[in-house]
Amino acid sequence: MIVRLLSGVAKRLLAAVVVMVGAATLAFGALHLIPGDQVSILLGPNSAASPEVRAQIRSDYGFDRPLVVQYAQYLSNVVRGRLGESYQQNQPVSALIGGQVWPTLQLAAAALGLALVIAAVSAVATAGRRPAWRSLASAWELVAVSTPAFWTGLLLLTAFSFQLHVFPVAGAQDLRSLVLPALALALSLAGVLGQVLREGLETALRQPFATTARARGLSQLAVTTRHAFRHAAVPLLTLAGWLTGTLVGGVVAVETVFGRPGIGALILLAVSTKDMPVVMGIVLLCGLIFVVTSLLVDLLAVVVDPRLRAEAVAV
């Protein structure tokens, strides 16, 4: 049993490594696939560097060596945590990302948490209830899903910051400044999550064990939260994990709208100035987030549904 457990864990770790190597390769590929001379990109469009200087840079950065060697060098650097220097900002990439990543993670986590809470409340309140309530909830979820986060953000800003002055317009000084951006991101997530959760709850509520629980004297709400919720939680978690991966796009937009510091501004700057080391670093970061959330989701799923334990070990 313990051997199988360990081999299960080993398989998962191996998968994580594969994903990270994939992300690194993708980043490396991106660097070498964009058209143009590496050195010109590095120096930027307005540089007047002499050919000698350019040759010097070329050999310093190793651009003149064979691609395979560059690739191997890059991987070994990544493993040792060296992501290189930014072309534009004369700072190590790791320091740049490290300096900006916290507000973004804060925002993403707050948005995800808020989305889960909204989804849970609306699904639990309406699952198995009167059709009128359900269609109302479904309608709002549909609207929420199809509204882009930046648009929601602008609306929220107009209403709560410009008109009512309840929340600050920009910045990331305190928790108050987190509320609106997190809400803007959370609403569309909550729409999808709420729909999946309600469906899961209703499937569970139709099972005989739900009838048994009601026959024991539990209220409909108690059956939903104590029994059905766990059954609906596994698909919900899987989806939430998957959505985390797609959150980056929304984050960039929302950070821009609300003028928040974070990876968003860094990404925009790096992409527009072709600051390749930074772009590559961010690709790696996304890979890391993906790996961590899927591990987390798998772990939580096993906690929620003990029947998965055997399977988790076997996979």
Least distance in Å: CB of 2 to other proteins?
11
Least distance in Å: CB of 5 to other proteins?
14
Q: Which is nearer to other proteins, 16 or 304 (CB)?
A: 304
Least distance in Å: CB of 199 to other proteins?
9
Q: Which is nearer to other proteins, 154 or 218 (CB)?
A: 218
- The contacts of residue 233 (CB under 8 Å, 6+ apart) are 200, 304, 305
Least distance in Å: CB of 243 to other proteins?
23
Q: Which is nearer to other proteins, 82 or 206 (CB)?
A: 206
Chain residues binding other proteins by CB under 8 A are: 1, 130, 203, 206-209, 211-219, 226-227, 230-231, 304-307
Q: For residue 99, count other CB atoms closer than 10 A to its CB.
A: 12
Got the DSSP string for 197-264? HHHHHHHHHTSHHHHHHHHTT--HHHHIIIIIHHHHHHHHHHHHHHHHHHHHHHHHHHHHHTT--SHH
- Rounded-to-integer distance, Cα 129 and Cα 135, Å: 10
Residue 190: CA atoms inside 13 Å, Cβ hemisphere, count? 26
- Rounded-to-integer distance, Cα 157 and Cα 164, Å: 10
Q: Which is nearer to other proteins, 59 or 212 (CB)?
A: 212
Q: Which is nearer to other proteins, 73 or 211 (CB)?
A: 211
Q: Which is nearer to other proteins, 1 or 67 (CB)?
A: 1
Least distance in Å: CB of 10 to other proteins?
20
Least distance in Å: CB of 192 to other proteins?
19
Task: Give, as one character, the DSSP assignment of residue 171.
Answer: -
Task: Give, as one character, the DSSP assignment of residue 274.
Answer: T
Residue 172 dihedral angles phi and psi, to the nearest 5°: -145, 45
